[in-house]
């Protein structure tokens, strides 16, 4: 998740962008890992559960970060898009 923030510098565009892009990056990396093949001798069930767990954890952390930005700092997706709330 920090690679989206620091390496891609998406927080320079807007504070909400890193938590929006992080689930996409985690999902793509999980899919690539699933099709790349096993790195060693692992049970078949573990090869399926670990990438799904990674994607779910990345999405949950991003949702938590979006909620934290909204509750503590008032930063919302609507303000990121330049829209005013009524």
pLDDT of residue 64: 93
SS3 43: coil
What is the rounded average pLDDT for all residues in the chain?
77
Over residues 49-72, the mean pLDDT reads 85
Assign 63 a pLDDT band (cuts: 50, 70, 90). very high
Q: Structure tokens of 68? A: 């934290």
Q: What pLDDT score does 54 carry?
A: 79
Q: Would you say 22 and 61 are in contact if contact means Cβ atoms under 8 Å apart?
A: yes
Q: Which pLDDT value is given to residue 46? A: 67
Number of neighbours of residue 51 by Cβ within 10 angstroms: 19
């Amino acid at each position: 998740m920090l690679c989206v923030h620091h390496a891609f510098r998406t927080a320079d565009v807007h504070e909400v962008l890193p938590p929006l892009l992080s689930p996409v990056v985690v999902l793509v990396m999980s899919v690539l890992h699933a099709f790349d093949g096993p790195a060693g001798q692992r049970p078949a069930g573990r090869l399926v559960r670990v990438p799904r767990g990674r994607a779910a954890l990345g999405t949950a952390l991003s949702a938590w970060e979006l909620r934290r930005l909204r509750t503590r700092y008032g930063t919302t997706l609507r303000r990121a898009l330049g829209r005013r709330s009524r």
